[in-house]
Amino acid sequence: MFGIGNKPSVLGGTMIIAGTAIGAGMLALPTISAGMWIWWSLALMVLTWLMMLFSSQAILEVNLNYKPGASFHTLVRDNLGKFWNLVNGLSVAFVLYILLYAYVSGGGSMVVHTFNAVFGYEPPKILSGLLFALFLSGCVWWSTYLVDRFSVIMIGGMVITFVFAMSGMLGEIKSAFILDVQNDGSSYGIFVFVALSTYLTSFCFHASVPSLVKYFGKDPLSINKCLVYGTLIALFAYIIWIVACDGNIMRSDFKSVIAAGGNVSDLIEAASSNLNGSFLLRMLDAFAFLAVATSFLGAGLGLFDYMADLCGFDDSRLGRTKTMLVTFAPPIVAGMIYPDGFLLAIGWAGLAATIWSVIIPALLLRAARQRNDKQVQNYRVWGGNFTIYGLLVFGCVVGICHILFVFELLPMYQ
């Protein structure tokens, strides 16, 4: 299954996809899905996984028409023109900015929660978010190598703490919570639409597809295995996380989490009231903190390099300082002004991500097939035109639902 040798391995590619997809966005899943609860939540998760897998395979099919090393930017510009290339660039930048704000918010809340749990003292949330962001943005400013080293350590810690935390939480699942025996009378299915954009954000890894083509060369079989296996790992991790939370937090208790802004610490606090053992709680705290920190470094480094290229800043200390200010000042300031916007920000990221990870890949695939319809293809996405239009419909539905949610035209469990 996973070939490992001197050549690129499927295992390595799988870890790239899984590592890119899994991040702090998963911490928002139990809260945003509280209204539809467990069964609707799992069904929507599987549907989202399938659509995001198809959209990544669409990028792969298009990318195979180019030499390995062609970027997503090149694919969009060459097949869809300058307008869609601009839309794509703006949507990517917006996603990274809004995610950085979400991580400043989430990181600050976890610092406050940790200090309160360990020392019995709550530092100001604004100051906590500022210090969290300044330290990690300083790592990005110093060098990519430092980010690399920190990321390896924290991802290792995140995996270990996730295993310990989930083992403990799954062992304490309460069937009455899962089955929602104390249902307050509200329906479930009507709350599906409000969660679409947040679920979509949890499967955003599509910028890694051209990197895999560069890494493997024109080996669609191996690359497709990486996409399938990597996204399946993310899917199973999310299912375990949602089941663990829904089995330890009453559905009605999520109302207070949502009312507080849906921040990470609010979710952890709700879970801790029904969990036994300080070790389990510390593992859950550590996992949440490391998830936010690693996601901040990943998104921060991506946006840092993007803005350096866009603004033409060099790699000197002065140039990197300018890039750091352009990259990190807006989300840090936003985090100080509105420190409890984690859940809201993840949803907005999903709206923009819909454009570049669902709609644009579908348009790319249609345009590329029209241009290369007489060429023999050694890889084609399953479903033909049905997949293309299915992706377009899915992307439009996600975008429309989020806009309706912003204008409070969709029901929200609260």
Q: Find where tokens 């293809």 sit.
A: 377
In angstroms, the Cα distances linking 213 to 44, 54, 70, 76, 357 are 29, 16, 9, 16, 17
Average the pLDDT over 373-393 and give the result.
83
pLDDT of the residue at 4 = 46
Separation between Cα atoms, residue 58 and residue 47, nearest integer Å:
17
pLDDT of the residue at 380 = 86
200-222 residue pLDDT tens: 999 988 888 888 888 888 889 99
Separation between Cα atoms, residue 257 and residue 268, nearest integer Å:
9
In angstroms, the Cα distances linking 286 to 104, 161, 162, 237 are 16, 7, 9, 17
| Dihedrals phi, psi of 324, to nearest 5 degrees | -60, -40
- Report the phi/psi class of residue 185: left, alpha or beta, with left for phi > 0 and alpha for psi in -120 to 50: left
Could you tell me the pLDDT band of residue 332, with boundaries at 50, 70 and 90? very high
Average the pLDDT over 394-399 and give the result.
95
Say yes or no to pLDDT of 1 above 70. Answer: no
Angle between helices 360-371 and 385-406 (to 10 degrees): 150
pLDDT of the residue at 51 = 96
All structural domains of the chain, each given as residue ranges with its CATH number in brackets, are 10-406 (1.20.1740.10)
Tokens of 11: 């295992």
Rg (CA), the chain: 21
Average the pLDDT over 399-412 and give the result.
87
Q: What residue type is assigned to position 239 of the chain? A: I
Tokens of 379: 């890889």
14-26 residue pLDDT tens: 888 888 888 888 8
Tokens of 189: 């299915």
Q: Which residue has the higher pLDDT, 380 or 277?
A: 380
Say yes or no to pLDDT of 301 above 90. Answer: no
pTM, two decimal places: 0.87
Average the pLDDT over 357-372 and give the result.
91
CB atoms within 10 A of CB 124: 11
- Collect all residues with Cβ–Cβ distance below 8 Å to 403 and sequence separation of at least 6: 351
Separation between Cα atoms, residue 94 and residue 142, nearest integer Å:
24
